[in-house]
Amino acid sequence: MESDVLVVDDSAAIRKILQRVLRQTGMAIGNIFEAGDGQEALLVLNSQKISLVLSDINMPKMDGIQLLAAIKGAPAWHGIPVVMVTTEGGEAKVGEAVRLGAAGYVRKPFTADQIKEKLAGFLPGAMPS
Amino acid sequence: MNLKDHLVQSLSQAVEAVFSTMLGARVLPAEVRFENGAPDAHDGVLSFIGVAGSWAGTGCVSCSPVVACRVCSQMLMTEATAVNEEVLDAVAELTNMIIGSVKNDLEVELGPLGLSLPTVVFGKNFRTKSAGHAEWIVRRFVWDSDAFEVRMCLAPSEQKASLQPHSLGPFNQMGA
């Protein structure tokens, strides 16, 4: 069974790179949806059955921490793993993400293997290199 | 190591890591210079991002349209022959990762810092001006036959400077 994934980043370049990396993982991924900020992500979550969210932190309108809090605070979405993929590496932001229930944290710049390794276990067919 | 040396080293490490990881490219750090006052007029692409906290400043990547297209082509594995929205976005993200890495590195000694969203300008013969009088650290990098520059200025924020005038310790060699 294929799982749908949501990639949230205000950079179209990063969304494209993550799409490519996700397709290369060998995981059973169906659709990959994109959002440019937290607000757009909530619209996607409201209309699609998403199994995994990869999200940046620093974004306009609604940042990744606010999005994470919204997902973890909603009974319908609470169980969706959210992996933060971000330049932000400060202890305060990482700690807040962990406290809110982030399933993982990948710091940019990242390699494809780092993404694969972090996603192992969240999606069927995940095979870390 | 004073902050100026730390910043030069951190910039170089960040640029090399981002190019190696995200573009599969090797860049070589070249000369470093220090600038005061308004820089010369720019041609090409200039991407900048603000740093805020107890220390504040700006980080920039400046490059030619050719280098901007190369960044986009290698980062996105696509063919970019002219500067368009995708190219500007790629350079913005490159800047975000470079300056973000430097910020993460500096936070160990300077405390929590925040990053603004990046802004990119593309044009000919334009000038930029930053508020404040901090010295710019400018490092040139060579990428095969091309080159680009990464520059950064950082100074104690006014609030910190007025509250703790004697607390800068080993970082007081930073132009501010």
pTM for the structure as a whole: 0.87
Q: How many residues does chain A have?
A: 129
Answer whether A37's CB lies under 8 Å from A62's CB: yes
- pLDDT at position B172: 38
Instruction: Kindly indicate the confidence band of residue B160, based on its pLDDT and cuts at 50, 70 and 90.
Output: low
Whether B104 and A90 lie within 8 Å, measured CB to CB: yes
The answer to whether residue B82 neighbours chain A at the CB level (below 8 Å) is no
In chain A, domain spans: 3-119
Q: What's the CA gap between B99 and B107, in Å, rounded? A: 12
Chain B interface disruption, residue of A14, A20, A114, most B CBs within 10 A = A14
**Residue B103 counted as domain residue:** yes
Secondary element (H or E) of residue B91: helix B85-110
Residues 52-71 of B with CB under 8 A from A: none
Residue numbers in chain A where pLDDT is lower than 50: 128-129
What domain range is B55 assigned to?
Answer: 3-160
Q: Cα(B60)–Cα(B57) distance, rounded to whole angstroms?
A: 10
B95 in contact with A at a CB cutoff of 8 Å?
no
**Which pLDDT belongs to residue A126?**
53
Helix or strand run (H / E) with residue A112:
helix A112-119
Report yes or no: B17 at the A interface, CB cutoff 8 Å: yes
What share of chain B has pLDDT > 90, as a percent? Answer: 65
Which CATH code for domain A3-119? 3.40.50.2300
Please report whether residue B54 resides in a domain. yes
d(CA B5, nearest CA chain A) in Å: 22
Nearest CA in chain B to A88: B100
pLDDT for B38 equals 67
Residue B65 predicted with pLDDT over 80: yes
Q: Which residue is closest to B90 within chain A, CA to CA?
A: A13
| pLDDT tens by residue, A106-127 | 999 998 888 888 888 787 665 5
Burial class for B171, CB neighbours closer than 10 Å (0-12, 13-18, 19+): buried
Gyration radius (Cα) of chain B, Å? 16
pLDDT of residue B4: 86
Measure Cα distances from B60 to B47, B50, B121 in Å.
5, 9, 11
Calculate the average pLDDT of chain A.
Answer: 90
> Mean pLDDT, to the nearest integer, of B124-132?
77
Q: Which of A25-34, B87-96, B157-166 has the highest mean pLDDT?
A: B87-96
Number of domains in chain B: 1
> Looking at residue B159, what is its pLDDT?
59
Please report whether residue B19 resides in a domain: yes
Per-residue pLDDT, averaged over B16-27, amounts to 95
**Domain CATH code at residue B77:** 3.40.1550.10
Decide if B133 is inside a domain: yes
- pLDDT value for A124: 66
Of A66, A44, A46, A69, give the one whose Cα is nearest residue A57. Answer: A66
Q: What is the pLDDT, as a whole number, of residue A113?
A: 87
Residue B62 pLDDT greater than 80, yes or no: yes
